[in-house]
Amino acid sequence: MSNERGRRRWTVAATTLFILIVLCPVLFIVQMSVRSGLDAFRMPPVLVFRPTVANYVDLVESKFVRSLMNSTVTAVSTTILAMLLGVPAGYAFSRARFRAQRIASLWTLITRMAPPIAFGIPFFLIYKDLGLIDTRIGLVVIYLTFNLSLVIWMMRAFFDSVPRSLEEAAYIDGAGIATAFVKIALPLAAPGLATTAIFTFLLAWNDFFYSLLLTRSEAVTAPVAIVNFMNYESWEWGKVAAAATMIMLPVVALSVVVRKYIVRGLTAGALKG
């Protein structure tokens, strides 16, 4: 009994140590965001210091808040639209049987078959002519282009793991395809929905390349805005750390809220049989 307790203590200690090591960069950024410039690089490092919110106050008073808003609007819009379009498509690919099914599903991946930079210049020129440069709509469209395939393929796998027999039973009871989809398949694939939505949100939220390329000042998102704290003469380390913390917060909060679904979603189908 005491042996088991001892083993458990060691497991807890080892797990805690492992988590601390993994979280080290995050903790470093967070503590740096509340240090003064002098404390940030003092040698030897000062472990006990008077925290300051000056960096956050500077951020709130700067254009960064607008960038954060741009990130929120574009990432949320992308996630909603990608789920609205991609989930039914994933269901269709999972359930329907038609001749070009394999080729069609493969073609949805075409936008992910080359690195983003390959599409950068064409998109810039098209956007310039369409007046979509530096607009939130422009960013949502581009993120949708790339994330839709991810949603379709992920959701298709989740729908594949839902037994068809349940929907067939509903058909016998008089349900149509839409009813079977909404009332049976969708609730059973809920963990998959949460996981896919999170991934889609993260991809849009963290995008740097297209935001850098397709925005100027109005629609700049937070990941690009953070780079602009790197002044020509010296970086504003405190602001960079505070901005990074602010960018991380919504993602961490979202992950905590839906973590139950994420775990279920990631393990769905693992015990199929």
Partner 1 sequence: MAGITRRRFVKSSAAAVAITAAGVRPSRPLAQTGKPYAGTRLKISQVAHAYAVGLLDRLPLFEGQTGIKVEIDQMSFPVLNQREDLELASNSGAYDVMQMIFIRSGRWIGAGWAEPLNPFIDDAKLTDKAALDVGDFVAGAMAPFRRGDTIYALPWLSDSTVVGYRTDLFEKAGYAKFPETFQALQEAAAKIHTRQTAGFVTEDNLHWIFPNWLLSYGGGFFANPPADLTPTFDTPEALKAAEMFTTMLAKYSPPGGIKLDPSIAQAIMHQGKAACFLDGMGNTQHIIDTTKTTLADRMAFTHTPSGPKGHFPQLAVHGYFINKASKNKNAAWEFIKWAAGKDQMLWSALNKGHLACTRSSVLANAQVRQKFTWRGSDLASLHLAVMKRAGEGYMVYRTVPQFPPVGDRVIIAMTAIASGQTNVADGMKSLQKDAEGILEKAGVKINRRG
Give the one residue of 235, 248, 253, 266 binding partner 1; rule: CB under 8 A: 235
Nearest to 262 by CA among 247, 248, 251, 249: 251
Question: How far apart, in whole angstroms, are the C-alpha atoms of residue 225 and residue 237?
Answer: 14
Using the minimum distance from each CB to partner 1, give the nearer residue, 131 or 163: 131
Sign of the dihedral defined by the CA atoms of residues 137, 138, 142, 145, in that order: positive
Q: What is the 3-state secondary structure (H, E, C) of 150-204?
A: HHHHHHHHHHHCCCHHHHHHHHHCCCCHHHHHHHHHHHHCHHHHHHHHHHHHHHH
**Shortest Cβ 232–partner 1 spacing (Å):** 5
Q: Which amino acid is at 49?
A: F
| Helices 259-267 and 237-257, axial angle in degrees (round to 10) | 70
Under the binding rule (CB under 8 A), the answer on residue 7 touching partner 1 is no
Under the binding rule (CB under 8 A), the answer on residue 213 touching partner 1 is yes
Both tokens assigned to 100? 């070009």
Under the binding rule (CB under 8 A), the answer on residue 54 touching partner 1 is no
The three-state secondary structure class of 86 is: helix
Under the binding rule (CB under 8 A), the answer on residue 217 touching partner 1 is yes
Under the binding rule (CB under 8 A), the answer on residue 233 touching partner 1 is yes
Using the minimum distance from each CB to partner 1, give the nearer residue, 56 or 237: 237
Give the one residue of 5, 50, 99, 216 binding partner 1; rule: CB under 8 A: 216
Sign of the dihedral defined by the CA atoms of residues 107, 109, 112, 114, in that order: negative
Under the binding rule (CB under 8 A), the answer on residue 72 touching partner 1 is no
**Shortest Cβ 42–partner 1 spacing (Å):** 7
**Shortest Cβ 231–partner 1 spacing (Å):** 5
Interacting stretch for partner 1, rule CB under 8 A, among 20-28, 74-82, 179-187, 230-238?
230-238
Subset of 93-132 contacting partner 1 (CB under 8 A): 124-125, 128
Q: Which amino acid is at 180?
A: A
**Shortest Cβ 25–partner 1 spacing (Å):** 16
**Shortest Cβ 242–partner 1 spacing (Å):** 16
Under the binding rule (CB under 8 A), the answer on residue 28 touching partner 1 is no
| Helices 190-205 and 136-160, axial angle in degrees (round to 10) | 150
Both tokens assigned to 221? 């998102």
Using the minimum distance from each CB to partner 1, give the nearer residue, 13 or 126: 126
The three-state secondary structure class of 97 is: coil
The three-state secondary structure class of 230 is: strand
Under the binding rule (CB under 8 A), the answer on residue 49 touching partner 1 is no
**Count of residues that interact with partner 1, criterion CB under 8 A:** 27
Give the one residue of 42, 164, 259, 260 binding partner 1; rule: CB under 8 A: 42
Residue ranges in contact with partner 1 by CB under 8 A: 36-38, 40-43, 124-125, 128, 133-134, 212-213, 216-217, 224, 227-235, 237
